[in-house]
Structure 1
Amino acid sequence: MRKVLITGGFGFLGSRIAEHLGNLGFEVSLGSRTSRLVPQSLKNCKPVITNWNDTSQLRNVCAEQDVIIHTAGMSAEDCAKDPIASFEFNCISTMKLLEACKTNVRKKFIYLSTAHVYGNPLVGKLTEDSIPRNNHPYATSHLAGEFGVNYANAKGDIEGYNLRLSNGFGTPILEEVNCWKLFVNDLCKQAVTIRELTIHSNEEQQRDFIPISNITKTIEMIIHQKNPLSQNTFNLGSGISLTLMEMAKKIQSRTNHLFRFSPEIRTNPNLKNSNGGFLEYNIDRLKTLHLADNVNFDGELDSLLLYCQNHFGTSAI
């Protein structure tokens, strides 16, 4: 049985990865800055303290692990408020973790980065060879973290991979996780609470939405690779570009399928005639290495809508 450390293990993405790997029989350590109780829904998982100011403690935590999945990081909003802190954590703490992973046995290290390194908004055809152009602290600090992974990988300290995530969505594991600012999660919550779907941005803007189930499956496939992959940086998305209106209509359709009503879609009239911009978030590198799984939008949306109904809905539905 392989042992996995997930930093940010109690976060929105970290806990979903933990659930998936725990159900597969991995021994999962959930890294957190504070002591936490592990919910019963997370099988084969235990909490561990990750003290980012104590390299010796981090080294002890990493010593028994086969795989480190680094999901801990500051949000875009927090990075904008404190750019210095964004680099101290997203870059420097990542470097500390990489240093702690150095052993005689080369560990697998998976870093969860962001598609936003390429720009804001994301437009055009974007491959892993596209030049990152986003100067926002969220993007630049993550890119610096990627450079740290690349350096450690080149030295042979780790077998390192950077995953540039597009717009993930899905059901949270922990109720206290705040994932309701995400576009899809927000609309699903609106659907069952106010029976409307209000799009606050340009409805013609294109995004690459990816169910979290696809993210967790891709990570599983990378872990199972016996030999180092020929590439170490990947665009992780669905490879399917949808406008915000197209995604809203998908949510409207799934709401009708589950609850037999169609929430009205509302848009900002001041943005109706603006150009959303073409986007192709290219995932050919994943496909070439057989690391891309079938995308199941409906399954993830149904799960998310049912979660929203159970936690936020009314008896009227």
Structure 2
Amino acid sequence: MNVLVTGGAGFIASHIVDRLVELGHQVSIIDNFSNGDPKHINKQASLYNISILDEEIDDIFEKIKPEVVIHHAAQIDVQTSIRQPDLDAGINILGTIKLLKQCKFKGVRKIIYASSAAVYGTPEYLPVDEKHQVKPLSYYGVSKHTPEHYIEVFSLLYGMDYTILRYANVYGIRQDPKGEGGVISTFMDSFLVGRSPVVFGDGEQTRDFIYVKDVVEANIAALEKGSRGIFNISCNIQTTINELLQKFSMLSGKSFKPIYHSPRMGDIVHSYLDNSLAMKELGWKPIYSLEDGLKETFEYYDNMYS
């Protein structure tokens, strides 16, 4: 299968590229390295170093003629979205529209879109399922949700298939400590350099952490399944930040006293996502426990720092 991955040098998408190549697909990458890292580029994939907003994207689609587009290129930081909502909307909303126009004119069969749990806002009930109201607390949540509507209408008007995946807090190898949902990579960095981890809030806020390799398999499943569906990709497990710190201490054999700061604007207190629809319709389920994923991630970064 001929697959184009936007943001293919980034944390999640670079793992997707590796898996696609491993499965024998023909893979192309669009990435301008605003978030991605050239070291993550799979040498068997074709790289186009541009933004999804650049005019050259027309020529690239004409050359590649992808059957499926997996769309991860985005502005990914919640706090940046609050400081610069115009930048956030320009990349996440207008960039996606430009991509959809290419999909329409170049005959793309399907788009797989990486959305976020940030679209839900403060949960009215837990776990949050796909029927939960959408009421984001940040411009990032708005700019990740709005393309969902454009994708749905493009599909309605032009017949293109799609699958929308709403990720919980993804973590794992290659994650930048500054990225959205990057509390685990931030803690990892603090622990390995001997710095006290910073916690925003009292540490009793909860998140649903899912390992990047499980997210990869959800995207692979979506190549052929999940037609015109929206799916939570999560572990369906609540973990407090304080519990997460305890797991880090056990892994590292060290104990650090966290520094607690006031909660940040746009942060949600409690969140975890119901993944039962994805398990049913995609034939997918998370394999990695938090302990297993943390162990693999910790060993990777421990070797880098040592």
What's the TM-score, normalizing by structure 2? 0.84
**Structure-1 residue corresponding to 2:244:** 247
Q: Which residue of 2 aligns with 1:32?
A: 31
Map 1:110-189 to 2 at 5 A. Answer: 110-120=112-122, 124-172=126-174, 179=179, 182-189=182-189
Q: Distance in 2 between matches of 1:34 and 1:269?
A: 31
Partner amino acid, structure 1, of 2:74: G
Cα 1:50–1:160 change in 2 (3 A) is farther
- 1:134 counterpart SS class: coil
Change (3 A) 1:278 1:178: closer
TM-superposed CA distance for 1:218, in Å, is 0.7
The two structures, once aligned, show a CA RMSD in angstroms of 3.1
CA distance in 2, matches of 1:122, 1:194: 38
Which of these residues, 279, 282, 297, is aligned with residue 287 of structure 1?
279
Mapped to 1, the partners of 2:305 and 2:148 lie a distance apart of 38
Structure 1 residue 262, shift from structure 2 partner: 3.0
1:199-226 CA distances to partner (integer Å, 9 max, x unpaired)?
343211111111111100111111143x
Q: What is the match of residue 258 of structure 1? A: none
1:312 and 2:305 equivalent?
yes
Deviates more, 1:119-128 or 1:201-210: 119-128
Residues 173-198 of structure 1, C-alpha deviation per residue, up to 9 Å, x if partnerless?
8xx88559811111122222217555
TM-fit CA distance, 1:298? 3.0
Unpaired runs of at least 5, structure 1: 256-260
Does the CA-based 8 Å contact 2:5-2:71 persist in structure 1? Answer: yes
Please give the residue correspondences for 1:48-67 in structure 2 after superposition, counting only pairs within 5 Å.
48-51=48-51, 52-54=53-55, 56-57=58-59, 59-60=61-62, 63-67=64-68
Q: Are the counterparts in 2 of residues 222 and 291 from structure 1 also a CA contact under 8 Å?
A: no
Distance (Å, rounded) in 2 between the aligned partners of 1:148 and 1:297: 34
Change (3 A) 1:27 1:178: farther
Task: Give a deviation string over 1:114-173, Cα, whole Å, max 9, x none.
Answer: 111111589743111111111521111111111111111223442111111111111108
Q: Number of residues paired by the alignment?
A: 297
Check the 8 A contact 1:116/1:134 in 2, yes or no.
Answer: yes
Residues 65-84 of structure 1 correspond to what in structure 2 (within 5 A)?
Answer: 65-75=66-76, 76-84=78-86
CA distance in 2, matches of 1:196, 1:97: 42
TM-score (norm. length: structure 1): 0.82
Distance of aligned partners of 1:81 and 1:211 in 2 relative to their CA distance in 1, 3 Å threshold: same
1:297 is aligned to: 290
Residues 47 and 58 of structure 1, relative CA distance in 2, 3 Å threshold: closer
Report SS of the residue matched to 1:119. Answer: coil
Change (3 A) 1:214 1:87: same
Letter in 1 for 2:190: Q
Aligned to 2:217: 217
Using the alignment, how far apart are the partners of 1:119 and 1:284 within structure 2? 20
Structure 2 residue matching 1:163: 3-state secondary structure = strand
Classify the secondary structure of the residue corresponding to 1:101: helix
Kindly tell me: are residues 116 and 270 of structure 1, through their superposed partners in 2, closer, same or farther at Cα, counting changes over 3 Å? closer
Is the alpha carbon distance of 1:263 and 1:80 closer, same or farther for their aligned partners in structure 2, counting shifts above 3 Å? same
Residues 3, 27 of structure 1: 8 Å contact kept: yes
2:203 partner SS: coil
The answer to whether the 8 Å contact 1:189/1:312 transfers is no
Q: Which moved more, 1:32-41 or 1:16-25?
A: 32-41
Query: Would you say the 8 A contact 1:187–1:197 is kept in 2?
Result: yes
Offset of residue 59 of structure 1: 3.5
**For 1:85 and 1:29, how far apart are their aligned partners in 2?**
26
CA distance in 1, matches of 2:260, 2:37: 43
2:41 and 2:7 map into 1 onto residues whose CA distance is 17
Residue 85 to residue 277, structure 1, CA distance change in 2 (3 Å)? closer
User: In the aligned structure 2, how far is the partner of 1:144 from the partner of 1:180?
Assistant: 18
